[in-house]
Amino acid sequence: MNVVADNSTRSRSGPAGVSVRRKWHSRLVQSFPVQLLLGLSVAVILPAFVRWDIGVVTEINPGQYPSMIGTSIAFMLGLLLLRRFSRFPGVQGSGYIVPCFLFTFGILVAVMFFWRIGFARSQIIGSFGMSIIWCYIVWYVNRLQRTPELAVVPFGSFRSLLEHSGGVKLHVLELPTLHGVRADAVVADLRAEYPPEWERFLAYCALAGTPVYHMKQVSESLTGRVRIEHLSENTLGALIPSPEYVAIKRILETAAVLLASPILVPVGLFTALLIRIDSRGPAIFRQERVGYRGEAFTMFKFRTMRDEPDGPSFTQALDPRVTRVGRFLRRYRFDEVPQMINILRGEMSLIGPRPESIELSRWYDNEIPHYSYRHIVRPGITGWAQVQQGFAAEVEDVTDKLHYDFYYIKHFTPWLDLLIVLKTIHVMLTGRGSR
């Protein structure tokens, strides 16, 4: 949750009774430069110093200095990833400490190995361990800080915010003053009409240095969903996501699929053989789906259900049509592997809104306003809605899922894509939400 103002040592009041409590130690712990400088000392310099100081080595390894430079970069990138991820709702930072540094230090080892750069193994291992320890210390200290508290102005759509107050304390104001109210920021529906005294109150808050946030902004930060009333730049920013990142993402995903194909192809052939042995019918299931810019395409999956002509168009909980092999494939999401073909053909992406069948897509489009806007990006094998919500079929559930899709489109960045990848790995290992 990033809507809480930074605190400092000063305190001041405005005409509306606005007081800004400043805590220097809180700001110091949460400061990125402080975390970076102290972290580099702990994660990079300390392992090298201890090794030299206790006399483990009598001469410097030629790879020591390149290793120190590399581990410094790996630590900084890992810390940056953690801070980027913490901006997204539903993210518990402690759960991503190890994956982030496994990712950055893994890249470091790969670069040094393939480019034949000499390295000190003890430096890399020690820095990796100390990076994790340092970030857990920072996380624990931050956790001891009090829960963020927000003052809510009781006009407009403020009641909808009260339904999603996880991680913060909300205080609905009765009078246009913060006297006696402990609040780090003020939340208001800035599209609502206010009496003059409340207008002055919001102005005084801003003058006194207390942040005033739009209710929609805070709701998105708490829920990870974007509710669309109308397509406008005030709601989603530019209607078309960054074309530069669209192109880069397409190149990277195509390269990733090609690099993984020597493993995926033989495993896929073996899986297809198991499906044919387990039940009658083709190993690959094909279905027309609505994809990028509303164009239809044929999506491929491993068949996980008996080949029957009748039945509902979507999978039900504990669906009896699912085969034994299919239940395993669904649990660990391995039935989606053939969609790598769709990625190579430019019809799908690794990450994006999940494509729906033509029949369901037409139904949703008639029932849900702006549903077709989700086709502005390529559909994906996994996505923000899948890792946050899971399966959805009814209109009410699909509407919530659509809000997650809009959030993804609005925050269409490599940071969110990488977070979805990590969350997807967790879903695959646990089997959460499978049908």
SS3 350: strand
Classify 333 as helix, strand or coil. Answer: coil
Taking alpha carbons only, the member of 369, 421, 397 closest to residue 235 is 369
Q: Which residues pair with 284 in a beta bridge?
A: 302
The encoded tokens of residue 143 equal 């956790």
The tens digit of pLDDT for each residue in 202-243 reads 988 888 888 888 888 888 888 888 776 555 544 445 557 888
HSE, side-chain direction, 13 A CA sphere, residue 88:
26
Q: How far apart are CA 340 and CA 351, in angstroms?
A: 12
Per-residue pLDDT of the chain (435 residues; tens, 9 = 90+): 333 333 333 344 444 444 444 455 556 566 788 889 999 999 999 888 776 554 554 456 677 889 999 999 999 999 999 988 877 776 767 888 999 999 999 999 999 988 888 888 889 999 999 999 999 998 888 777 767 788 999 998 888 888 776 668 889 999 999 988 888 889 998 888 889 999 999 988 888 888 888 888 888 888 888 776 555 544 445 557 888 899 999 999 999 999 999 999 999 999 999 999 998 989 999 999 999 989 999 999 999 998 766 655 566 666 788 899 999 998 888 999 999 999 999 999 999 999 999 988 888 888 887 888 889 999 999 999 988 876 665 666 778 888 899 889 888 899 999 999 989 988 888 766 555
DSSP strand pairing (149-152 vs 185-188): parallel
CB-based contacts of 9-16 (< 8 A; 24+ apart in sequence): 12/208, 12/209, 13/208, 14/204, 14/205, 14/207, 14/208, 15/200, 15/204, 16/176, 16/177, 16/178, 16/200, 16/201, 16/204, 16/205, 16/208
- Tell me the CB-side half-sphere exposure of residue 315, using CA atoms within 13 A: 21
pTM (whole model) above 0.85:
no
